[in-house]
Amino acid sequence: MIFKMPTRYFLVSGVSEGYTPLNAFDGALLQAGIGNTNIVKMSSIVPPHCKPISPITLPPGALVPAAYASITSDIPGEIISAGIAVALPEDENQNGLIMEYSAKGERRKIEETVRNMAVEGMKLRGWEIKDLKSIAIDHKITKIGAALAAVVLWDSSIWHGNSDLKPQMSNFDVWT
């Protein structure tokens, strides 16, 4: 197995302009604090007993599992947004659920949509929600821009075993 079972997660977001869509996406990753890692895109499940933490600075080059929503555009003046939500069940022995969404439009609408997606996903499973967290960000395009919202999963034994991993400051509110 490449990864240990994650025990912690955190939400981040970022936006950027770039020379190409890939450069804009890279800039959004950097603004979110995860741009110098190897992101491994995963599907939408938070392991049982996984707890939220404040964003941390990850080791450069680390393999980092994350679920994310992203969008790029090259239409000047267009507003793009990305959002992500995490729903945790009342029963901590069950897994949690991550939903991702990105679209043209403002942050509040995208965040409302992604939260509703998480609620519906939990209803489909027949589970009551104990906690629902979300984050979203929007960006008005100048030339070529990107928006990204992500849930990063991490193993707390790595966090506790490395004093170089420190909480990072975030400019973005997480909606609980």
12 neighbors 152 (Cβ within 8 angstroms): yes
133 neighbors 11 (Cβ within 8 angstroms): yes
Residues catalogued as catalytic: 38, 43-44, 100
Instruction: Quote the CA–CA distance of 137 and 166 in Å, as a whole number.
Output: 24
Instruction: Quote the CA–CA distance of 113 and 101 in Å, as a whole number.
Output: 8
Instruction: Quote the CA–CA distance of 79 and 91 in Å, as a whole number.
Output: 39
CA–chain centroid gap for 143, Å, is 24
What count of other Cβ atoms lies within 10 Å of the Cβ of residue 155? 16
What is residue 7's three-state secondary structure? coil
